[in-house]
A and B are shown apart, each in its own frame.
Chain A
Amino acid sequence: MNARELFIQAIYLAASVLFILGLKSLSHPDKARLGMQQAALGMVLAIVGTLFNHEIIRFDLIGAALILGTVIGYPLGMFVPMTAMPQRIAISHMFGALAATLVGVAEYHGHTGPVPRYIMAALGFEVLFGALTVTGSFMAFGKLQEFITGKPVTYRGQNTVNISLFGVAVLMFVFLIARPESSVVFFAMIGLALLLGVFMVLPIGGADMPVVVSLLNSYAGLASAATGFAIQNNVLIICGALDGASGFLLSVLMSKAMNRSFSNVLFGAFGQTAPALAAGPGAKDLTVRSVSAEDAAIQMAYAGQVIVVPGYGMAVAQAQHVVRELADVLEKRGVTVKYAIHPVAGRMPGHMNVLLAEANVPYDRLYDMEEINSEFERADVALVIGANDVVNPAARSDPQSPIYGMPILDADKSKGVIVLKRSMNPGFAGIENNLFYAPNTSMLFGDAKSSLTRLVTEVKAL
């Protein structure tokens, strides 16, 4: 190893350490920002270090690509609204996987002489998972951006088709390890993986997106770790492993929070089976109590403690700022306001936290499910904003319910429940929610944002 290479490797090592420290800093919101800025420094170091590579002889394309990437990346970083964060994250998985896949293709194409078997194994894994993630993430992006229907798209024999396609892709992969020179199979496998990505995400509905987005995160990471194996670069292996571990961990957490297995999310097509069971026992004979904004405002203004339960509906209505306004006027009257965040509320892990933080809600008011659930009993009002399945008591009590066993926020245990909802249409999963019929529940119908605005006015007027 000559001096130049040693220098580059030292920089890569430093960058790896900075990345790990950056992720470690995310364990506390106060230290996180500085830690991530150090990680960004690590990235700059790694890029500059790479430019010293003796193989690089032309800088025109590099310069152009770096500029083009910055021009596209800057607005994606600075101007995308927080409500659009899930699709923003999904599309960035696509970019990451695209980069890994193209490196794999170029390495395969440009390899002088026969490709050794273990390099072939790494390249095959890289392009297989990379290509699948490219189209899968694009589909997830489309569904979240709503130019592709957010409802699960299913057809008879769908799982058989998907599993067979995946089986064929794996067979091609094995064949390639045996015969690395068969470039036709290599490119056919990429084509198949691209198709598989589309098919895999088609049956997945909006509420399952947190799992899928995390899973794609993991795949993108594994693809870049495989790139590291293929081009024998340790920093790439380390970052790929970190990324893969993070995505995997998040998808496990999200699945657990929905009490469902991975395979159930990927092959279950939730929304399909639900309508059959939707007519829950007795739900139809119960009446819904509707409430005026004025009465709801009185109920909250004279409460000791109000717990806000935000859901995807809050994000859709972009109501987070008004929520904060309402909390302000209530706090001025001496009411304690807390926020209960379910792990799968929204369309991505941590979605609600980011939105509320954007609206200047201090993070120490945001409580995780485990921390807050015992508090509901002591709360006078639980204010449910555009959340549905995560507060459905059927998950605790009704073994017939598709969401039975899912850990939920015990909003129904508080003395009073006020639900802000557009109409009585069942939520995403199409499951009837008995919370809406409970005697201590009152419904305030209408768009979440305008309902909240009315509540603010009413509380102020008291």
Chain B
Amino acid sequence: MTSIIELYVFVLAAFVGFQVITRVPPLLHTPLMSATNAISGISLVGSLVLAGASRDSLSNWLGFIAVTAATINVVGGFLITDRMLKMFRRDEKPPPGPAARKAVPPGETAR
């Protein structure tokens, strides 16, 4: 039964993911990739337990490597995302051309 609930969670999360990410403009696609990378470091919730549980030492050491790899993504990923997002700034002067520009959802850009 639990596995069915997990399937629900997966499908709904994927659905939310599609909805949210469709709205990210192409402008921010690189920060989006580094952001999802940083968030994927959440695999720490599994690897931390492995590294610290009282199982055999092989599990502990595999956990150790996994924690290291995931931490690299968390630390590096959030830092580099922030570094990139800091660079995106608006012009102080009014933008040229038609004033009413809005971010076009990427789904409509690549037709």
Contacts and interface: CB of A to CB of B under 8 A. Distances in A.
A224 B10 contact: no
A106 B87 contact: no
B69 A229 contact: no
Interface string B22-54: 111111111111111111111111111111111
Contacts of A241: 9-11, 13-14, 17
Contact of B47 (A43, A74, A102, A221): A102
Contacts of A371: 101, 104
B33 A69 contact: no
For this complex, into which size category does the number of interface residues on chain B fall? 35 or more
Contact of A375 (B23, B52, B97): B97
A243 B39 contact: yes
A343 B10 contact: no
B30 A110 contact: no
B107 to A, nearest CB: 8
Contacts, number: 399
Size category of the binding interface on chain A: 35 or more
A131 interface: no
Contacts of A50: 44-45, 48-49
A213 B70 CA distance: 18
Contacts of B71: 65-66, 68-70, 73
Contacts of B28: 26, 29, 32, 350, 353
B67 A66 contact: yes
B69 A98 contact: yes
8 contacts: A28-B25, A36-B81, A55-B53, A70-B71, A217-B37, A236-B46, A348-B30, A350-B31
A43 B49 contact: no
Contacts of B18: 245, 249
Contacts of B62: 102-103, 105-106, 109
A99 to B, nearest CB: 4
Interface in B61-111: 61-92, 95-97, 101, 103-104, 106-111
A163 interface: no
B88 A32 contact: yes
